[in-house]
Amino acid sequence: MKKIVISLGGSVLVPSLESNNIRQYVSVLKKVAGECRIFIVVGGGGEARRYIRVARDLGAGEAAADELGIMVTRLNARLLIAGLGDAAYPRVAENYTEACEFAQAKKIVVMGGITPAQTTDAVSAVLAESVGADLLINATSVNGIYSADPKKDAAAVKYEHLTPQELLAIITGSRMDAGANTVLDIVAGKVIERSGIPLLVLDGRDPENLYRAIAEGVYSGTVVSRESSNPLLP
């Protein structure tokens, strides 16, 4: 059975507590869990950025702001576990060793952030390497990787396929401060390059995009891999 790590952006799962998409994702994740082993890393989203902004206003440094962000990612992870019920391991994994141990229960494993100055995308890349994943999926608020921010630059070009080296060339120079909101950070890119695990970046605002990608091998996004073939096909 394939192992898939999903980096589930906080901006698509919990843009705010009032407008969360947890129920919609629970339905999809329960369906795909019958077809592959699933590990999920949940981001902080809008709630984390709210906490970080207030912390900065109070004079907190970036390390302290990062710690707050990590706490929020774990709260979001706990909410997802509550929604998944018996389909998920009942605790949030707080490190990679715990994630590997929890996976022995053959349930969905959920975790949030781990290390200050490291995004949950980086956590998901290291997790994928740790568990020997066949695929890493980044479900985010854009439908792929672009040459520039498509929300700010109408001339931005979407890439269908990139090599890990091409990905690194694009993300070099990304912001590293607490709450940074980029498609991927350089740590994630480096781990993807060294592990050789294929990455699929897709639009997570519609949970069905995730289902179609995993269950049917159909997607509209960007694949990062050494080969140009579809990593979702047998």
The pLDDT tens digits of the residues spanning 169-215 come to: 888 754 444 444 456 888 999 999 999 999 999 999 999 999 999 99
Does residue 86 have a pLDDT over 80? yes
Name the more confident of 49 and 126.
Answer: 126
DSSP the chain: --EEEEEE-HHHH-SSSTT--HHHHHHHHHHHTTTSEEEEEE--HHHHHHHHHHHHHTT--HHHHHHHHHHHHHHHHHHHHHHHGGGB-SS-B-SHHHHHHHHTT-SBEEE---STT--HHHHHHHHHHHHT-SEEEEEESSSSEESS-TTT-TT--EESEE-HHHHHHHHTT---STT---S--HHHHHHHHHH---EEEEETTSHHHHHIIIII----EEEE-SS-S-TT--
What pLDDT, on a 0 to 100 scale, did the predictor assign at position 129?
97
Question: Does residue 136 carry a pLDDT above 60?
Answer: yes
Average pLDDT, the chain: 89
State the pTM of this model. 0.90
